[in-house]
Amino acid sequence: MPDCMKASREAERGHGPLRHCGTFDTDGLPADLVERIEGAFDDHFYVVLQPDLALRLGYDPTCGVPLPEGFDWEVRDFWERDSSARMVYVPRNRLPIAEAIPDHSDRGWYAVTRLYRPWQFRGTRVTTTRAAAVHWLAMWADANAEMLRLELERLRD
């Protein structure tokens, strides 16, 4: 929804507590997608998009999303343009969980999940910026925190 608006009670009943986390620009989008977005605004004053689609639309985070308990970030030099950000699981000797890494052809960033598993079982999302990759990873960790904790504790045994 636009950053100048607050989520309606209808939206919060249907989607849970909402907070404004970022924006994306609709300029340059395909006409059918713009029509779908504008139609949703006309009907509900908000639009529901899948996170992967929002990331591909040039999503620009405007705030951070907190990580679940037991997870933390390791960032070498946050201000360095190509500096990757790695998510770790603290209770297990800072086990690597996920990472935001640059695409060295300057086309975007990769958000890579499940670093503790063999490469065939890892997940990858493409984003336009490091901030969007970090934001997506934080949302992924929050949505999967319980399953991740169980999986990581099994690795300990």
Query: What is d(CA 31, CA 50) in angstroms, rounded to the nearest whole number?
Result: 18
Whether residue 99 is contained in a domain is answered as yes
- Whole-number pLDDT of residue 78: 60
Whether residue 107 is contained in a domain is answered as yes
Q: Is the pLDDT of residue 154 over 70?
A: yes
- Whole-number pLDDT of residue 144: 92
- Whole-number pLDDT of residue 40: 80
Whether residue 81 is contained in a domain is answered as no
Whether residue 74 is contained in a domain is answered as no
Whether residue 25 is contained in a domain is answered as no
Q: 30 or 147, which is more confident? A: 147
pLDDT in tens, 98-130: 999 988 767 788 899 999 888 888 998 888 888
Q: What is the mean pLDDT of residues 129-139?
A: 87
Look up tokens 């901030």; give the residue.
131
Q: CA torsion, points 57, 62, 68, 74, in degrees to nearest 10?
A: 90
Cβ-based neighbour number of residue 157 at 10 Å:
4
Whether residue 105 is contained in a domain is answered as yes
- Confidence bin at 39 (pLDDT 50/70/90): confident
Whether residue 150 is contained in a domain is answered as yes
- Whole-number pLDDT of residue 68: 92
Whether residue 78 is contained in a domain is answered as no
Q: Which domain holds residue 42?
A: 4-19+31-68+88-155
- Whole-number pLDDT of residue 113: 94
Q: Is the pLDDT of residue 17 over 70?
A: yes
- Confidence bin at 4 (pLDDT 50/70/90): low
For residues 113 and 103, the answer to whether their CB atoms sit within 8 Å is: no
Number of domains within the chain: 1
Instruction: Determine the length of the chain.
Output: 157
